[in-house]
Amino acid sequence: MDIKDSGLARIISLVNQAGGVGKTTLTSNLGFHLAERGARVLLVDMDPQASLTRQLGHNPRTVEKAVAHTLLQDEPIPVLSDWHQVDLVPSNNNSAMLESALAQTADKEVLLKQGLQTIRNQYDFILIDCPPSLGLSSIMSLVASTHVLIPIKASDKGLEGADNLGDTLRRITTKANKCLRIAGAVPMMFDKRKVIHRTSNEHIKRTFGKFVVHPPIPESTDFEKSWRARTPLAKLFPNHPAVQSLQAIAAHLETH
């Protein structure tokens, strides 16, 4: 059965093993736009640095339960619901211990999938913000997902890491999750005045040519401002040029 008709959430991992490419920024803002369009949205913070948890206004040091409780102790998945109609499964630095704590556990890659199973029918979209590595947390996320979305920094001329990421995705799709679909690449922090960004955008299109390359998200210090305000960009700056791209990506995710 197609996910569209199944009544189950599409589960989308935002993955790139580089840090600072805009994974967390894209997760929170896309979550907001999807919810604004009427979808029931859950965001899952899989990064021990808990940047998404902070972005949604929570202090990872004081959240009572985080995603690691579910993965390590088989507890129900903890959900916080107080950010612009978008729900959150928070992270804290317990997630940093996952790899070592689960070293002897068989089938550990499926733990997140199992954890999300009980709430998957309550949402239309579950977006998973992955850490900047292709370690266990990102693998668990990809195994749990129906789709993967790849934010790529527009200044990344050589698409550093694209090979590793490609290898990981091939490994997952040939074995652990044959149904995983690539929802496309998103050029992030794009400045059309910079030659290197234009060159790199062409490179992204060539590399990911058989998948969708979404409209670029422009480089703008307004993202920093909205991050500090713990607010979606569109709430602070409704006419911001990035909002159009975010809306277009959200619309695409609804139909693919």
Least distance in Å: CB of 146 to Mg ion?
A: 21
Output Rg (C-alpha) for the chain, integer angstroms. 17
Whole-number Å distance between alpha carbons of 130 and 14: 6
| Residue closer to ligand ADP, measured from CB, 163 or 224 | 224
Q: What minimum distance in Å lies between the beta carbon of 132 and Mg ion?
A: 7
Rounded Cα distance, 93 and 75, in Å = 17
Smaller CB separation from ligand ADP, 23 or 147: 23
Cα end-to-end span (Å), the chain? 14
Instruction: Select from 23-31, 65-73, 203-211, 222-230 the region that touches Mg ion (CB under 5 A).
Output: 23-31
95: contact with Mg ion by CB under 5 A: no
Q: Which stretch binds ligand ADP (CB under 6 A): 13-21, 106-114, 171-179, 248-256?
A: 13-21
Stretch that binds ligand ADP, among 2-10, 16-24, 67-75, 200-208 (CB under 6 A): 16-24
224 binds ligand ADP (CB under 6 A): yes
Report yes or no: 22 and 116 within 8 Å, Cβ to Cβ: no
23 binds Mg ion (CB under 5 A): yes
Provide the 10 A C-beta neighbour count for residue 158: 8
User: In what helix (H) or strand (E) does residue 28 lie, and over which residues does it extend?
Assistant: helix 23-36
Q: How far apart are CA 132 and CA 75, in angstroms?
A: 26
* Interaction of residue 186 with ligand ADP, rule CB under 6 A: no
User: Hey, which residues between 95 and 124 contact ligand ADP (CB under 6 A)?
Assistant: none
Nearer to ligand ADP, 115 or 132 (CB): 132
Query: How many Cβ atoms sit within 10 Å of the Cβ of residue 103?
Result: 9
Q: Name the residue number minimizing CB distance to Mg ion.
A: 24
Q: Could you give phi then psi for residue 194, rounded to 5 degrees?
A: -90, 125
> Is residue 91 within the footprint of Mg ion (CB under 5 A)?
no
Toward ligand ADP, which CB reaches closer, 8 or 21?
21
Counting contacts by CB under 6 A, is residue 19 touching ligand ADP?
Answer: yes
**d(Cα 100, Cα 137) in Å, to the nearest integer?**
12
Buried b (16+ CB within 10 A) or exposed e, 230-241: ebbbbeebeebe
Q: Contact positions toward ligand ADP, by CB under 6 A? A: 19-25, 51, 132, 188-189, 217, 219-220, 223-224, 227
Binding site residues, Mg ion, CB under 5 A: 23-24, 51
